[in-house]
Structure 1
């Protein structure tokens, strides 16, 4: 599942943004710009009640699936980051626990629409 010509990029982008946690991850990484972030920084940044002010997203708690930072970190490592990496939106180095975002205008446009019109 990548954002290339072999798949339907609309379906891929829609699947990526269906999950609230992935939307929070993407907003955080977009706000970080080209700067890599550690998994710990990402977890701290999106844990309930934390949203970077420059993202333009109103703080909202993640759903009750993540009752601790450790639980959120595990979900990021084993579910959300691999899905984003498979789509070619991020690079995640499991050894250094560094996440790098790759600018994806189509995805960013959809995230902005969701944040401004639907959430």
Structure 2
């Protein structure tokens, strides 16, 4: 037999606001490239051009320990182009939507946004 509940408010689901925020944070930090972007921007006091950001991501991802085949010539150009496209169409818009970065389309530059330092703080705690 089920007990009678006199307060219908007690039947509502608990608030999931904090869980949704945590989930969104982990979603943003799940991508290695987005973590690299945040770290690169944290190292700079001025906005970073998308070209410079692309070069930093490519050089970090293509370190000798990663076993990268692309080390010279057309392979590097193709790799750089693919990274730039993924930053432009996937990673920077996702970070900008979360106010983690500010993208200046006119200057083709990116800087940390309002929520960027918070994400970097959470990232450093995850790294520990």
Report the TM-score, using the length of structure 2 for normalisation: 0.65
**Structure 1 residues 73 and 109, CA gap change in structure 2 (3 angstroms):** same
| Greater per-residue helix proportion | 2
- The structure 1 segments of at least 4 consecutive aligned residues displaced by more than 6 Å after TM superposition are none
Q: Whose radius of gyration is greater, 1 or 2?
A: 2
Q: What is residue 87 of structure 1 aligned with on the other side?
A: 98
Q: Which residue of 2 aligns with 1:30?
A: 42
Counterpart contact for 1:48–1:60, Cα < 8 Å: no
Q: For residue 4 of structure 2, what is the aligned residue in structure 1?
A: none
Say how many residue pairs are matched.
102
**Residue correspondence of structure 1 range 1-119 to structure 2 within 5 A:** 8-33=20-45, 35-49=46-60, 61=66, 68-102=79-113, 104=115, 105-115=117-127, 117=128
Q: Report if aligned partners of 2:99, 2:114 keep a CA contact under 8 Å in 1.
A: no
- TM-score with structure 1 setting the length: 0.69
Deviations 1:54-105 (A, max 9, x none): xxxxx975x99x9601100000000000000000111112232110112544
Unpaired runs of at least 5, structure 2? 1-16, 70-75
